[in-house]
Amino acid sequence: MTGSQTVWLYAVSRDDADNAPPSARGVAGEDVRVLTEGSLTAVVGSVDARRFGPDVLAGHLENLDWLAETARAHDAVVAATAARGPVVPVRLATLFSNDEGVRELLRSRREDFQSALEAVTGRAEWGVKAYVDPDSLANSLSAGDMASSGSTAQSGAGSAYLLRRRAQMAARQSAQSAAGEWARQIHARLRPLCAASRLHPAQDPRLSGRHDWMILNAAYLVDQERTEPFHALVKQLSEWQAALDVELTGPWPPYSFAVPPGDHRHD
């Protein structure tokens, strides 16, 4: 390790028989290496400190193409590691000045890693996002309500407008509460099939790239043998309501479940 290199950490896994490095290339196009310490293995890559130093990184993060490429590369290594066994994915841009820093991490937090690995063994993360088409939902909800607002015709134009506005607001609110109820029910149905679940904030419409409301953005940690029933249920739920669209992604490395029990630190 020369002074101009820094160590990028991708994931931590168990030191099993097959501890050859995953074949995926790293964020700098580098060959990925494994560092074994005790019962644990860290998947790392040596990257140019000048390109991946803290100051430079901050600038890179403003570069959309750089961020996209780096995120995909990081995920590819994590996924390749997950393909071989239980893995704890590490957040993007976790850097050490040398291998010894990583080894020290494996030593000092061995138990955390072991319990985290235990929690995800034989399981994979599946993402479930539910969308509601607001127009379609409003139509199905307002079929009854609209009849009652017909009597406003004889009122003055101003109050008719206000009444109409109020009706629109009410329709929007009832659509939102109906959608929220759907989300709760979807989650309530899926949860029993999973070892763990996380509800993430709904993605911004610009992030999801969809006009539809995202009403659920959840991650489920599913046992291998429950994969099929889980998928079947997601499919069922996607056909439950006309205005509802349920999207399944995965299997993912357990990104959403990488917090060791008893360790909820954010930094």
Question: Which tokens hold the place of 1?
Answer: 């390790």
Residues 248, 264: Cα–Cα separation, whole Å: 27
Which positions from 27 through 56 interact with other proteins, judged by CB under 8 A? Answer: 53-55
Decide if residue 115 touches other proteins (CB under 8 A): no
Instruction: State the Rg of the chain over Cα.
Output: 24
Decide if residue 95 touches other proteins (CB under 8 A): yes
Where are the alpha helices (H) located in 121-190, listed in sequence order?
134-148, 157-190
Per the CB < 8 A criterion, the answer to whether 255 and 125 are in contact is yes
Decide if residue 209 touches other proteins (CB under 8 A): yes
Tokens 């539809």 locate to 212
Q: How many residues sit in the footprint of other proteins (CB under 8 A)?
A: 110
Judged by beta carbon, residue 159 or residue 229, the one nearer other proteins is 229
Q: Which stretch binds other proteins (CB under 8 A): 31-39, 81-89, 141-149, 154-162?
A: 81-89
What letter represents residue 231's amino acid?
H
Q: Which stretch binds other proteins (CB under 8 A): 13-21, 149-157, 158-166, 230-238?
A: 230-238
Interface pick for other proteins out of 15, 96, 139, 163 (rule CB under 8 A): 96
Which positions from 154 through 193 interact with other proteins, judged by CB under 8 A? Answer: 172-173, 176-177, 179-189, 191
Q: Which stretch binds other proteins (CB under 8 A): 33-41, 146-154, 156-164, 204-212?
A: 204-212
Q: Name 41's Cβ contacts closer than 8 Å, sequence gap at least 6.
A: 12, 13, 14, 15, 16, 19, 34, 35
Decide if residue 240 touches other proteins (CB under 8 A): yes
H helix or E strand, kind and range, residue 60: helix 54-60
Quick one: how far is CA 206 from the chain centroid?
Answer: 16
Decide if residue 82 touches other proteins (CB under 8 A): yes
Decide if residue 196 touches other proteins (CB under 8 A): yes
